[in-house]
Amino acid sequence: MVMWIRFRWFGLWIPLFLLWPILLVLWLLFLPIVMIGMAVTGRISRFWKVIHLTFAAYEMVCATRGLRVEVRNDRTTFQIFLI
């Protein structure tokens, strides 16, 4: 997935597929902290809800493919396209 952002005359392509490895590493670093917090508070059974939430967020991001946002006014143009 690639995101095209354009603000007035400046345009920028952002390849979102390069962000997935970074997000995976952050998730793997954050997961033990969540597990410890759930163990301390006694809510370790809710761990599976965290896993389901992760997959739901991934599905939501994948569903935005083809999203097009355009904001135009007299002096400003702002566009976002997810290709």
Q: Which residue has the higher pLDDT, 16 or 33?
A: 33
pLDDT-above-90 percentage for the chain? 4
Q: What is the mean pLDDT of the chain?
A: 84
Place of tokens 């759930």: 38
Q: Residue 26 has what pLDDT?
A: 92
pLDDT at 64 over 90: no
Question: CB of 68 within 8 A of CB of 80?
Answer: yes
**What phi, psi does 56 have (nearest 5°)?**
-65, -40
* Whole-prediction pTM: 0.56
- Band of pLDDT at residue 18, cut at 50, 70 and 90: confident
Separation CA 50–CA 36 (nearest Å): 13
Q: Residue 49 has what pLDDT?
A: 84
At 81, which helix (H) or strand (E)?
Answer: strand 77-82
